[in-house]
Amino acid sequence: MSQVAAVHPGVEPAESPLTPESWGKLGMWLFLAGDAMSFGGLLAGYGAIRFGSADWPVPAKVLGIQLTALMTFLLICSSVTMVKALSAIRKGDRRGLVRFLLGTILGGVIFLGLQAYEWTHLITTVLPPQGLTFTQHLFGTTFFVLTGFHGMHVTGGVIYLSCIAVQGARGKYSPERNDPVELVGLYWHFVDLVWILIFTFVYLL
Amino acid sequence: MATAHAEPNYMAIFGWLFVLTVVEIGVIFLPIAKLLIAIMLVGLAISKAALVAMYFMHLRFERRTLAVIAATPMLLCVLLVFALLPDHSAVPHQSAASSPRPAAAPK
């Protein structure tokens, strides 16, 4: 019997050394692997379209890099607060857990606000004169589909984080029982990771 | 709980992510070949993604199974990119501005 199973009898004894200790983590990782394929499909399709295009504009000239850099920094910070939230509840610091979860949520909400501002600016002012809107050019189509799909994930993540924060505030988590916090963390880091890739391939490359 | 280990220095990882992001933005302004810039950007992005995955998402300290589950989409996505390459010129991509206006449809 593994040492883990001996210490945590609530967990089934592992059938093999390959079985993860936590079913929740296994489930979340499997979900994230599938979600990664969704984003991967969109990014690969974007690459194929862009690679074969004769008149693709230079993204750095059309899109606002400064604002996007701030958004990237924001999401990275929110990943740090997320990791600190998990660390807090593992030490039994419930107030720290809720505080850092709220910080993560705040990061996500500000990110969405900045994205809404960016989209509005692009849709009303920047793209139409250059003929690059959602319907006029695949540049616009791929941009809005990619960032929109990601933005939906951030929105879902903010809602998910809020649910966990409420449960945390109610004292449902402890150093012994904090799997749900770890799982929401995995989802949130995934959202950050995808943004890192989108930032690189859509804005910078 | 994964195998016992000291908590990674999250702030150090954050520092690295910040530095790598700044370098990424700086790279696009370098006066070198586009292909070189692209290679550097991909390398930097992969490094950042790896840091988030291994330390924030804890993969470094988990059972191997989770790392395999996480690595599989990466491999599949690379294959996907190569699978799509032959189709890149299958559809003519012309914006509304550059394509000739179609003749008026008959009533």
Q: What is the mean pLDDT of residues B69-87?
A: 91
In a domain, A75, yes or no: yes
Both tokens assigned to A156: 């879902």
Structure confidence at residue A18 (pLDDT) = 72
Closest residue in chain A to residue B92, using alpha carbons only: A53
Separation of alpha carbons A115 and A67, rounded Å = 9
In a domain, A7, yes or no: no
In a domain, A95, yes or no: yes
Show Cβ contacts of residue A205 under 8 Å, excluding neighbours closer than 6 positions.
Answer: A59, B37, B38, B41
Q: Which of A19, A83, A131 sits opposite B56 (nearest CB)?
A: A83
Q: Residue A78 belongs to a domain with what CATH number?
A: 1.20.120.80
| Residue span of the structural domain in which A153 resides | 22-204
In a domain, A15, yes or no: no
Pick from A26, A53, A196 the residue to mutate for testing the B interface (most B CBs within 10 Å). Answer: A196
Q: Mind listing the pLDDT tens digit for each residue in A90-127?
A: 999 999 999 999 999 999 999 999 999 999 999 999 99
Residue B15 distance to chain A (closest CA, Å): 10
- Number of structural domains (chain A) is 1
Residue B52 reports pLDDT greater than 70? yes
Cα–Cα distances in angstroms (integers) from residue B46 to residues A52, A157, B107, in the given order:
24, 23, 55
Structure confidence at residue A57 (pLDDT) = 94
In a domain, A8, yes or no: no
Q: Mind listing the pLDDT tens digit for each residue in A134-191?
A: 999 999 999 999 999 999 999 999 999 999 999 999 999 999 999 999 999 999 999 9
In a domain, A1, yes or no: no
Pick from A51, A63, A76, A178 the residue to mutate for testing the B interface (most B CBs within 10 Å). Answer: A76
In a domain, A11, yes or no: no
Residue B3 reports pLDDT greater than 60? no
For residue B6, the chain A residues in CB contact (below 8 A) are none
Separation of alpha carbons A178 and A24, rounded Å = 11
Residue B107 reports pLDDT greater than 60? no
* Residue A10 CB burial class (10 angstroms; 0-12, 13-18, ≥19): exposed
Structure confidence at residue A14 (pLDDT) = 58
Separation of alpha carbons A43 and A49, rounded Å = 10
Residue A166 distance to chain B (closest CA, Å): 22
pTM for this entry: 0.87
